[in-house]
Amino acid sequence: MQLGDKAPAFSLMGVDGKTHTLESVKGAKATIVVFSCNHCPYVIMNEDRLISAFTDYKAKGVGMAAISSNDAAKYPDDSFEEMKKRAKEKGFPFPYLHDESQEVARAYGATHTPHLFVFDRDLRLAYTGAVDDDNNYRTRKKVERPYLRDALDDLVAGRPVRVPETHAIGCTIKWK
């Protein structure tokens, strides 16, 4: 996807047993779609930050969904059953969706976990990349550039995103 592109629609089963669509997770001012999984240490280090960001911005008109597209046959930790366990354990306040066919990840051009796609009120891509500048799960550092939060601040205020693209750091999506 390129900046300004319209978000591809999706309809995916969530760990809550419900089917979720892009429209059902859309926020009034911004929508976060993050490609995630259970086993990647980069995802694990960012889960609490994603939960916190969504919790802080939900009331400001931000919607969110996390999507796991990994091949669960090769990576059993990313199976739908394990996704259910992880979502319950972490208390995800957003839908955690299973992209078993990997069609949604391909449509978005997702390459890593985590890989964020943040859309404006019209579902046009406004930011893509990493959660922030702390990108080494082995040697954690103080976050100096909170890319996701900065993008959300801009979108909630009705401004263009100042830093619209960063490099998604993490494990590669495990393709079938």
Average pLDDT for runs of 10 along the chain of length 176: 95 98 98 97 94 98 98 96 98 98 98 97 98 75 88 97 95 96
What pLDDT score does 137 carry?
66
What pLDDT score does 133 carry?
83
CA angle 96, 73, 99 (to 5 degrees): 30
Task: Tell me which residue range forms the domain holding 143.
Answer: 11-172
What pLDDT score does 144 carry?
86
**Residue 2, in any domain of the structure:** no
**Residue 5, in any domain of the structure:** no
What pLDDT score does 32 carry?
98
**Residue 4, in any domain of the structure:** no
What pLDDT score does 142 carry?
79
Q: Which residue(s) pair with 34 in the sheet?
A: 66, 116
**Residue 1, in any domain of the structure:** no
**Residue 152, in any domain of the structure:** yes
What pLDDT score does 61 carry?
98
**Residue 118's closest CA among 57, 39, 40, 176?**
57
- Which residues, 6 or more positions from 28, have their beta carbon under 8 angstroms from its beta carbon? 61, 63, 121
What pLDDT score does 122 carry?
97
Helices (H), the chain: 22-25, 41-57, 80-90, 103-108, 147-156
CATH number, residue 19: 3.40.30.10
What pLDDT score does 143 carry?
81
